[in-house]
Structure 1
């Protein structure tokens, strides 16, 4: 059994012997580490365990933080107690951005649930939490300058399940907890589609629903009824809603919203959505996205958007989040090429690999299967960020696993959908390219099996996929 390290470090040298630890739980090993600041890549570190103890060298606090989590993964136990094997690890991330997205619009999830997700993602060296705060089903963020958005738009969830929203104190708590774990929170206000909830309080900004055959098919399969202007929507259909480009006051409204969002979330990115605006005229789409980009620019933040925004005019350096398949359609590939020409950077979230709400197999209780059918753990692992869309690796900002919550209403279901496939995304974001040294399936499945007992001790309710030889 190899060292149960996830994600796999850049360089690992193992040596005979082990350091005995006078502790009663694995994480108690962390205070033993002696930390020395050195020059090196951001978030990188060296972890040395030998007969003299544990030593960490890191260029920044994040590197030391990740080194300690690597140490915690190394800790084993035998009849004599806890120990750490002698190793010399030199490590740094492949990509600067390593994110997980949580959709809190389709189903509301508590601050405590979000905090636990932050903690567990940080242990796998993720450094960004993307919160999908608004959609057709709800507007989850309370704003002082527009309290009506949450007051009217957050009362329910898909299927009529309970709703909820986050106040300013909730946001401060989430942001602070993320910062303590070296994670940045990226807020998303989705537009011009996915905006039915906006129309509950601002009908003057909302176009009439566009009921395409695909919308009607989803209603037929999943229920939820036809979307009705002015009434909360609790179904699963997408692509029917839009803001009205010519609505008086829309740009001022967007400026007020994004200004307050920027004040609540101190990170460098504001995500403006831009996806699945199927009911929006193409000229109107560009006009509304341009309004949103100007609103984000006024805050001094970098705009991020789903890759469909390649059809609009985002500024150089903007971030495009690709959610198409590992093998892109020509339409999605063309949008990526247009974004590349405009100087865009990319976050990779291929739906048929690291959309964590996809079923593991046909028998999975929760989840959907529209992204090329169920996504096994192996399929979630066997892809490489640089091989998805034709862009230079230096223009790839990073990788983000996404959890949409149409079918995920509680924390146990959330955990079972996230774990273990989150580890696939962690390794794609941090480690070397697929096929390099330990970055291959057989090594991964063995190391993942070795991490299972630690997840059990932490109380994580993970899916015991038969693909993994769990210990």
Structure 2
């Protein structure tokens, strides 16, 4: 039987001999704690990359080598997955592993704007991300339905623009204490938080607090169609929006008050962000004049740079005058339209890189199949676990130079996901697909669907034993 490791390491060499028997009582402890307690030697090896590690297990114990805390942390995550039940108790089979990631950016986007998700859910998700060696949690903090972060420079945003969600349910926002708790938890798990303030579209909620900043909603036939299909009514200025339509809202580009707002909000968010990335949105601004769009997105990016951070934007922002080094996040299909591909290439042409989030593969809010109770199907129909795995980041945008792709980020939009149970059901196991694509070597016997499916089946079994409501479709599809 193959080792049940996800993501699959760069090099795995089974060893001869008896397994390592863990101490009596291990079954009552968490796998990670049990594995860590059996480490007999851990040493520094400057020749290893920051996230790389070596791991040797035999009957005598466990030896870990790493050059930095990240590598040691990943070694422990691998050890936790190696713990298994043997005939005589809990064991780890003898093995030598040499490992390092393919890409530095391995992430998950959680939308807390359409439905608010509390600190407890986000902290739980950070724990699970660390198990899969993910490095970035991108929080989509603002959208038409709500503003989810307390801003001392603009307190009205939390007071007036956070009270509801899709479907009219309760809203919510993170206080400063909440945000500090999330940052601390993320740091302990080796994960960087990436806040997103989406603009100039997806800004209807801003108008609830500052009506002078937002243009009247642009109600198109597509907005009417979505309202007819999903409910929520048509957007009206000054009225909370609880529907699913997109593209109707916009900031009033060119107004001095809007520029002041961007300086206040983005400057404060940058000050609250210890990591190097701040996301400025830029997607689906269908109600904004193209020239105005380019002007405002360019200004927002300049403000982020002025505060010492690197701006990230959805790939549409490639048509704006972004500073060199800005990061693009591609959300088109695995076979992109010419327009989407051109916009993505523009980031690379300016010295930037791309995070790949193809919506028909790693948008975790897509249904698994037509019968899935939660989720949507707009990204070329349902996304099975198999489809979430069978793609490669370097193949999506033809003609990119080496190093243009900095990583992979799955995305969990929450129009239909109201609580942690929904997060669990939709993210697991497909988040594991994104994690392996981002970490593991591109090719090899284990980097094919049949082998991944077998390993993932074991991970699903263990998740479910640990109380995670992981989707069992992987066992039968």
TM-score using structure 2 length? 0.96
The alignment status of 1:11 with 2:11, answered yes or no, reads: yes
CA contact (8 A) 2:6 2:436 kept: yes
Distance 2:5 2:342 in 1: 38
Contact 2:56 2:96 (8 Å CA) reproduced: yes
Equivalent of residue 61 in structure 1, options 69, 85, 88: 69
Shift of residue 347 of structure 1? 0.2
Does residue 197 in structure 1 map to residue 202 in structure 2?
Answer: no
Once structures 1 and 2 are overlaid, which stretch shifts more, 454-463 or 69-78? 454-463
Given the alignment, which residue of 30, 37, 57 partners 1:31? 37
**Equivalence map 1:93-242=2 (5 Å):** 93-242=101-250
Alpha carbons 2:267, 2:303 under 8 Å: kept: yes
RMSD: 1.1
Mapped contact 1:446–1:469 kept (Cα < 8 A): no
Q: How far off is 1:452 after superposition? A: 2.3
Runs of 4+ in 1 over 3 A off after TM superposition: none
CA distance in structure 1 between the aligned counterparts of 2:390 and 2:475, rounded to whole angstroms: 14
Helix, strand or coil for the counterpart of 2:94?
strand
Within the candidate set 384, 395, 419, 1:376 is matched to 384
Q: Which residue is equivalent to 1:422?
A: 431
CA drift at 1:337? 2.1
Structure 1 residues 454 and 217, CA gap change in structure 2 (3 angstroms): same
Counterpart in the other structure of 1:21: 22
Aligned to 2:195, what secondary structure does the other structure show?
strand
Check if 1:70 corresponds to 2:82.
no
Which residue pairs with 1:263 in the alignment? 271
Instruction: Say if 2:319 and 2:346, in contact at 8 Å, map to a contact too.
Output: yes
Structure 2 unaligned regions, length at least 5: none
Of the three residues 89, 99, 106, the one matched with 1:91 is 99
What are the superposed Cα offsets for residues 346-382 of structure 1, whole Å, 9 maximum, x if unpaired?
0000000000000000000000000000000000000
Pair 1:288-2:296 in alignment: yes
Distance in 2, matches of 1:207 and 1:393, equals 42
Q: How many residues align?
A: 468
Please state how far the C-alpha of 1:469 moved relative to its aligned partner: 5.6
How much does 1:293 deviate? 1.2
Note the C-alpha offset of 1:262: 1.4
Q: Is the 8 A contact 1:106 1:135 kept in 2?
A: yes
SS of 2:76 mapped into structure 1:
helix
Residue of structure 2 equivalent to 1:326: 334
Kindly state the Cα deviation for residue 393 of structure 1 after the two structures are TM-superposed: 3.6
User: Residues 8-54 of structure 1, C-alpha deviation per residue, up to 9 Å, x if partnerless?
Assistant: 00000001331111123322121222211112112100010012210
5+ residue gaps, structure 1, are none
Shift of 1:456: 2.0
How far apart are the structure 2 equivalents of 1:344 and 1:307? 12
Query: For residues 424 and 245 of structure 1, what CA distance do their matches in structure 2 show?
Result: 40
1:436 shift after superposition: 2.5
Contact 2:445 2:451 in 1 (8 A): no
